[in-house]
């Protein structure tokens, strides 16, 4: 089954075609980062308007690259939530209408389920059941996954998501938006051990997270070491390093707990922060200690993309699920409410 995937939940227009027989046929991504950079964060109205401009031309481009005509598509999947309501509505309207015009089924996909299944696009995909650590700009969640749609929330962030914390620390350090990759790059020059930041909520039981205290700790450290509002380059790098280590260390402690709690041997990480090399390294070590295995998607499928939506939609369409003719989005949508296939 050939399925077109449309991702427009935030500031990236991601389009792809996934074929259940041949795998991923083509994918492309347009990032609006430059549009939002001067505001230091995503402006929802600007995001919606840009998705309107980009979605159809990118659909044409991807069909071209896949070497197929629109008439050869057998389904359309679009992100229906969670995300920015206007941005979601653009993808849902275009996706739902295209499917209606072509006379094929459509399906609204949960964005975090898309992230969660992105490692399935790799040549050596994980097998169910596993524990998933979802770390994106909006979510930090530990989930027990027994199959597609069989999700048990083990823990989640009570305040900022891990990616959000990276972005806010990036802003404090004067780095461009989104901060995550820039903080990671700066941390490469940092010395480990000069600063020791707290690992929030690790000395009490449970699998929930909290990153806002760590963020305040970083803010105070920056203020303490600044002179006339300026930080020395090396100090900024050392702070980035200590922050990255604190986030990865905290996530690793909770992942290990989740693995021990569930008795499972497989951990997958997904979402934008799973592109972080230090986090991958720390979690590889954690899983080696428990004789388990870590899986993640290739870099371009860690952050928002159309391939994960095409893949997820394809699995649900193959199972006979499909959307009605209405255009529905859910800006807030719990992963646990999804149906099993
Ligand atoms: O999954 P994603 O693309 O969008 C959401 O669903 O939110 O995640 C974006 C987040 C941003 O907060 C970004 O700063 C972060 O992922 N991110 C990273 C890295 N690459 C992206 N954080 C840390 N290190 C990275 N290399
Ligand atoms: Zn995302």
Q: What is the pLDDT of residues 318-337, one digit of tens each?
A: 999 999 999 999 999 999 99
| Structure confidence at residue 183 (pLDDT) | 98
Sheet holding 130-135, edge to edge: 150-156, 140-147, 130-135, 266-270, 293-296
Q: What share of the chain has pLDDT > 70, as a percent?
A: 100
| Structure confidence at residue 204 (pLDDT) | 86
Among all ligands shown, which has an atom nearest to the Cα of 7? 2
Q: For ligand 1, what atom is nearest to the CA of residue 139?
A: 7
Q: Is the CB of 186 under 6 A from ligand 1?
A: no
| Structure confidence at residue 229 (pLDDT) | 86
- Is the pLDDT at 201 greater than 90? The verdict is no
| Structure confidence at residue 242 (pLDDT) | 98
Q: Are 72 and 104 in contact (CB under 8 A)?
A: no
Q: What is the pLDDT of residues 275-296, one digit of tens each?
A: 999 999 999 999 999 999 999 9
Span 187-215, average pLDDT: 94
Average pLDDT in the chain: 97
Kind and range of the H or E element at 80? strand 75-81
Q: Is the CB of 306 under 6 A from ligand 1?
A: no
Closest Cα to atom 23, ligand 1: which residue?
A: 180
- Is the pLDDT at 22 greater than 90? The verdict is yes
Q: Is the CB of 170 under 6 A from ligand 1?
A: no
State how far the Cα of 336 lies from the Cα of 149, in Å rounded to an integer: 8
Span 220-229, average pLDDT: 95
Span 194-220, average pLDDT: 94
Q: Are 141 and 335 in contact (CB under 8 A)?
A: yes
- Is the pLDDT at 244 greater than 90? The verdict is yes
Q: 275 C-alpha to center of ligand 1: Å?
A: 7
Q: What is the pLDDT of residues 127-171, one digit of tens each?
A: 999 999 999 999 999 999 999 999 999 999 999 999 999 999 999
- Is the pLDDT at 40 greater than 90? The verdict is no
* 1 pLDDT tier (thresholds 50, 70, 90): very high
Q: 7 C-alpha to center of ligand 2: Å?
A: 9
Q: 173 C-alpha to center of ligand 2: Å?
A: 24
- Is the pLDDT at 200 greater than 90? The verdict is no
Span 298-313, average pLDDT: 98
- Listed residue (109, 107, 49, 106) closest to 81, CA to CA: 109
State how far the Cα of 213 lies from the Cα of 103, in Å rounded to an integer: 52
């Amino acid at each position: 089954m050939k399925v077109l995937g449309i991702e427009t939940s935030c500031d990236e227009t991601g389009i792809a075609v996934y074929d259940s027989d041949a795998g991923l046929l083509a994918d492309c991504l347009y990032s609006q980062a430059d549009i939002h950079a001067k505001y230091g964060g995503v402006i929802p109205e600007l995001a919606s308007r840009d998705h309107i401009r980009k979605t159809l031309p990118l659909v044409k481009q991807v069909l071209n690259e896949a070497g197929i005509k629109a008439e050869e598509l057998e389904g359309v999947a679009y992100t229906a939530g969670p995300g920015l309501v206007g941005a979601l509505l653009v993808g849902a309207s275009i996706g739902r209408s295209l499917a209606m015009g072509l006379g094929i089924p459509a399906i609204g996909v949960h964005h975090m389920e898309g992230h969660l299944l992105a490692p399935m696009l790799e040549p050596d995909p994980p097998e169910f059941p596993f524990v998933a650590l979802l770390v994106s700009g909006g979510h930090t969640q530990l989930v027990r996954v027994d199959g597609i749609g069989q999700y048990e929330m083990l823990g989640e962030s009570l305040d900022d998501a891990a990616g959000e914390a990276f972005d806010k620390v990036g802003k404090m350090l004067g780095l461009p938006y989104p901060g995550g990759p820039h903080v990671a790059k700066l941390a490469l020059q940092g010395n480990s051990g000069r600063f020791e930041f707290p690992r929030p909520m690790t000395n009490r039981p449970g699998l929930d997270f909290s990153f806002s205290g760590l963020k305040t700790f970083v803010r105070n450290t920056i203020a303490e070491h600044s002179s006339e509002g300026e930080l020395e380059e090396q100090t900024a790098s050392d702070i980035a390093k200590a922050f990255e280590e604190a986030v990865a260390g905290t996530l690793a402690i909770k992942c290990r707990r989740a693995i021990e709690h569930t008795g499972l041997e497989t951990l997958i990480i997904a979402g934008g922060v799973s592109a972080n090399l230090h986090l991958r390294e720390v979690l590889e070590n954690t899983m080696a200690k428990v004789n388990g295995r870590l899986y993640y998607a290739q870099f371009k499928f860690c952050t928002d993309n159309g391939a994960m939506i095409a893949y997820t939609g394809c699995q649900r369409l193959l199972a006979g699920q499909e959307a009605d003719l209405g255009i529905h989005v859910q800006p807030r949508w719990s992963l646990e409410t999804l149906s099993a296939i």
